[in-house]
Amino acid sequence: MEMIHPLFFQNYSMDIFINGAQAISPQDTFKAESFPEKVSGYSSRMTIIKPDYKAYFNPLAMRRMSNIIKMSTIAAFECLMEAKAESPEGIITATGQGCVEDTEKFLIKMLDTDEGFLNPTTFIQSTHNSLGAQIAYQKKCFGPNIAHVHKSVSFEMALIDSLMMLKDKEADNILVGGVDEITAESYRMKSNINLWKEETYSNLSLIHSDTPGTIPGEGATYLMLGRKKHSSCYARITSVNILYKPKDNHHLKEFFDHTIANAGINKTDIGLVLLGANGDSRYDAPYDEIQHSYFNENTVGFFKHLCGEYETSVAFATWLAAFMLKKQEIPGYISQEAKKPGKINHIAIYNQDRGRNHSLIILSAC
Amino acid sequence: MAELISSLKEQIIEQLNLEDLTPEDIDEKDPLFGDGLGLDSIDALELIVLLEREYGIKVENPADGKKIFYSIETMADFIEKNRKK
Amino acid sequence: MRIMVTGLGMVSALGNDIAENLISLKDKKTGIGAIEILKTVHKDSWVAGEIKQTNADLTDTLEIDDSLTYPRTTLLGIHAAREAFKNAGLEVTDGSRTGIVVGTTVGGMDLSETFYRKPKENPSFIATHSCGFTTEKIADYLGITGTMSTISTACSSGLNAIAYGARLIRHGYIDRAIVGGTDALSLFTLNGFKTLMILDDQLCAPFDKNRKGLNLGEGAGFLVIESEKSLNERKGEAICTLSGWGNANDAFHQTASSPEGNGPYMCMHKALEQAALIPKDIGYINVHGTGTENNDLTEGIALKRIFGEDVPPFSSTKSYTGHTLGAAGGVEAVIAVLTLQHQVCFPNLNFARAIEELGLLPLTEVQENTTLKHVMTNSFGFGGNDSSLIFSKL
């Protein structure tokens, strides 16, 4: 059957290296030297473990930084330091919902005061590209600066954008990030459309849950991608692809075949497949399907019980995969399956949003 | 005037989200912008909102802000002369 | 690989389609005026480039039948994208090789601000609020299933969306794409810009010495771009090529450009470099020209840095449409292509005297029968996000 999708990397002889990777998340992942020993438990909302903001910004600078800007900027700064870069040559950010807190503040005040006295600061900070703009401003980065805001594949689109720019030599390195926040107000509002589990439900029981709803999360993950391998290298990105509304299972299978072939490997070479199941029994069936059919010979793991459900959570999964490849370790709370001995060479991440946006990312050892 | 200066300091701290500052930290004669407290043009817009909301004074041209907001003292003077609330 | 422009679609305060927009542009008829549809307490204080159709009108015209209520940004987007598709003579038999990239800042905010306090009355807004919703709905409406994204970089969103689409084609992800931008007027943006004190309560006067600020507008502008190979295979016709693009960050201030116009300078320079052109090759520029003190001065400075004393004929068509924010890049790219296609430059309305520091004079009359080979269009956004595109004759 004719290939429906293009071969990304078909003509590429170039590797893309992850030379820095930092994740601020609800787990103890920030600046981690090793995997956290256990999973931190949450119910209702999984919020980040906050870094010490004052260690990074003086109080004056922080006056107009909401939580999302702070966590995004700090994760970016640490990632740059790790990759030993003063400033990136390009910044591409991804966010599904943008700067929610500032948007809410401005909107609610506007409604409450009947378009009365409003604050310019919250308006300016509510724009989606504030995340990338703040980093560019702080680091004096004059290079390309794009913000992708395309639902559950925002990060994948940012990744593809980065890879294209690196291939085109528009930059030698690109800082790419996936950031989203969950506020109490946003949690409350979305309860109106039955997205969440009961408030007392724990993330520790999220995967394979048999009740409807999921648990929202948040996080800021940044990767420093480059065409050259640094000593700080975590892994390589060897294939990224998305598929919108597959016609049927066959179409999906072709998508997987194709994306894996792009990485120059076979399905059996994949040491771990991370699945984006989020514990919502109404929508997780396709993951069970895939686990027992297409990937039935692969070790499978999960990540959303660690970070919660949010549109750029695949960024967190990418950090996890990179860290696992670097450490050559798969923690038991990610996968409980018997592991094959030997080196982990490739990890795949599969995510889908109610059958609409499917993505597959493959990372390989350095 | 002293009372106005005192409440102005508190209002500014709140309006500009200067979390770690107390009224005692701000001298009413010190410049607010540039080398002084270090505020910028967006803060100036916030102070314009503050003037209208708390004192009923409408500043039509943001460029006028430079003079009015030079220091807490100049702000208090301006408010005394122009307040409608 | 050449990127061919093969279709255009636009809805703005000037008209509901390309033909209507062209008539207004040629007749020097501005679309900026009283705010009638947006229910704002400030409606008598400001003017805007408002499209005189309600959401119900737009929904009916498009024959939308969905359990969700569509926000205005989505409706305008579908309207213009649909025209571009038809204009390109496209029939989608395999949607997987056709992509879409949309630039937007407002997203579904108009619905959200209406129903936020009464979610039980209509909870659609919770699902339709995010920027990506618009892109997916345009894709679904047109049968597109290829690579797609949504870009939100403030006022440069539309141009960045076009550039991203072009890159996806060059890298073989898709053969063609609908690219551009859409944004509706909303209380959120009107009040937001009001707090920044950069609105003009009268008709804006871009590049004028006495300019007082911008007028907001709304609209959607889309192009169809294709690889030359795919166009030849379907025996289609091109209007022009998208020959260059550039994006850079000013990294100076959240809402103002650096005094030297660094970001604007860098992105125009990049676009020229990519198009393998020299400044003299540009025959006309559709400038960002919002009418604010900061933008027009810094953009002018950047123009002189690139073009020296030979700044080509230029104009800001925001004097016609208002500043359509995330849609501006799309709307103005469409106007730039129309300029090239019909060899007519549209003027910068409401101009009287040059900015003293610059001495630059924009076009003030319609110029027909031009012999333009290359035109440029600029969009500069908050967060220092600056972009420039170049279109070239075949």
DSSP labels, A89-114: S-EEEE-SS-SHHHHHHHHHHHHHTT
Dihedral angle at the C-alpha atoms of B28, B32, B35, B37, nearest 10 degrees?
A: 80
All structural domains of chain B, each given as residue ranges with its CATH number in brackets, are: 2-82 (1.10.1200.10)
Is the pLDDT at A3 greater than 70, yes or no?
A: no
Question: What letter represents residue C28's amino acid?
Answer: K
Closest CA to C195 of C255, C251, C250: C255
Select A16-226's CATH number: 3.40.47.10, 3.90.180.10, 3.40.50.1360, 3.20.20.70: 3.40.47.10
A16-226 and A235-364 share one fold: yes
Neighboring chain C residues of A113 at a CB cutoff of 8 Å: none
On the question of pLDDT at A14 being above 90, the answer is no
The number of helix segments (H) and strand segments (E) in chain B equals 4, 0
Task: Tell me if residue A263 falls in helix, strand or coil.
Answer: coil
Q: How far apart are CA A118 and CA A192, in angstroms?
A: 27
Helix and strand numbers (H, E) in chain A are 11, 10
Tell me the pLDDT tens digit for each residue of A136-171: 999 999 999 999 999 999 999 999 999 999 999 999
Specify the range with the lowest mean pLDDT, choosing from B34-38, C203-207, C324-328.
Answer: B34-38
Q: Which of C195, C197, C211, C254 to mutate to test the interface with B (most CBs of B within 10 A)?
A: C197
Q: How far apart, in whole angstroms, are the C-alpha atoms of residue B70 and residue B74? A: 6
C197 vs B: CB within 8 A: yes
Average pLDDT over residues C109-117: 97
In sequence order, which residues have a C-beta less than 8 Å from that of residue C53 and are 6 or more positions away? C16, C37, C61
Which secondary structure element, helix H or strand E, spans residue C99, and what is its range?
strand C98-103
Each domain of chain C, given as residue ranges in start order, spans 3-233, 245-392
Residue A6's pLDDT is what?
43
Complex ipTM tops 0.90:
yes
Cα–Cα distance, C274 to B4 (Å, whole number): 59
Lookup: tokens for A153: 């594949």
Q: pLDDT-based confidence at A8, cuts 50/70/90?
A: very low
Chain length of chain C: 394
Q: Do domains C3-233 and C245-392 have the same CATH topology?
A: yes
Residue C177 forms beta bridges with which residues?
Answer: C99, C225
- Report in angstroms the alpha-carbon separations of A184 from A44, A113, A128, B68: 10, 21, 19, 39
May I ask the CATH architecture of the domain C245-392?
3-Layer(aba) Sandwich (3.40)
d(CA C284, CA C311): 9
Active site residue C155: yes
Domain at C3-233, CATH from 3.40.47.10, 1.20.1340.10, 3.40.50.1010, 3.40.50.150: 3.40.47.10
Query: Does the pLDDT at position A295 exceed 90?
Result: yes
Residues C379, C394: Cα–Cα separation, whole Å: 24
pLDDT exceeding 70 applies to what percent of chain A?
96
Q: For residue C185, is it left (φ>0), alpha (ψ between -120 and 50) or beta? A: beta
Q: Is A139 helix (H, G, I), strand (E, B) or coil?
A: helix
* Residues contacting residue C136 through CB under 8 Å, at least 6 positions apart: A151, A356, C148
**Distance between alpha carbon A174 and the CA centroid of its chain, in Å?**
16
Q: In Å, what is the CA distance from C44 to each residue of A90, A116, B59, C226?
A: 43, 15, 19, 44
Q: Which H/E stretch holds residue C146?
A: none
Segment (H or E) for A258: helix A249-262
Residue in the block written with tokens 């989020």: A278
End-to-end CA distance of chain B: 15
User: Which residue ranges make up each domain of chain A?
Assistant: 16-226, 235-364
Burial of residue A223, with CB atoms counted within 10 A of its CB: 0-12 exposed, 13-18 middle, 19 or more buried: buried
- Spatial contact of A101 and A68, defined as CB atoms under 8 Å apart: yes
Which of the four pLDDT bands, split at 50, 70 and 90, describes residue C92? low
The DSSP output letter for C293 is: H
Query: What is the spatial distance between Cα C361 and Cα A76, in angstroms, rounded to a whole number?
Result: 43
Give yes or no: C323 in active site: yes
CA-nearest residue to A121 within chain B is B42
Residue A86 clears pLDDT 80, i.e. is over it: yes
CA of B18 vs chain A CAs: smallest distance (Å)? 6
Q: Do A63 and B52 touch (CB under 8 A)?
A: no
Q: What is the pLDDT of residue C6?
A: 98
Region of poorest pLDDT, from A215-219, A244-248, C21-25: A244-248
- Residue for token digits 């409408």? B58
Give alpha helix (H) positions in C343-393: none
Q: What distance in Å separates the CA atoms of residue A183 and residue A181, rounded to the nearest whole number? A: 6
Total H helices, total E strands in chain C: 13, 13
pLDDT band at B66 (very low <50, low <70, confident <90, very high): confident
Q: What is the pLDDT of residue C43?
A: 95
- Name every chain B residue with its beta carbon within 8 A of the beta carbon of A63: 16-19
Q: What's the DSSP call for residue A193?
A: G
CA-based nearest residue in chain C for residue B52 = C195
- Classify residue C345 by burial, with Cβ atoms within 10 Å: 0-12, 13-18, 19+: buried
- Quote the minimal CA–CA distance from C185 to chain A in Å: 15
A98 close contact with C: CB closer than 8 A? yes
Whether residues A168 and C254 touch (CB distance < 8 A) is answered with no
C254 touches chain B (CB under 8 A): yes
Distances in Å between the alpha carbon of A355 and those of A27, A242, A275, C383? 28, 12, 14, 35
Contact (Cβ atoms closer than 8 angstroms) between residue A349 and residue A301: no
Average pLDDT on A39-59 reads 94
Quick one: which H or E segment has residue A178?
strand A173-180
* Whether the predicted pLDDT of A1 surpasses 90: no
Check if the beta carbon of residue A101 is closer than 8 Å to that of residue A189: no
Query: Of A158, A170, A150, A172, which Cα lies nearest the Cα of A16?
Result: A172
Annotated catalytic, C129? Answer: no
Widest pairwise Cα distance in chain C: 61
Among residues C155, C204, C240, C345, which one is catalytic?
A: C155
What CA–CA distance (Å, rounded) separates A50 from A184? 16
Share the mean pLDDT of chain C: 97
Task: Give A235-364's CATH code, choosing from 3.40.47.10, 3.40.430.10, 3.30.70.1400, 3.40.50.10260.
Answer: 3.40.47.10
| C136 pLDDT more than 60 | yes
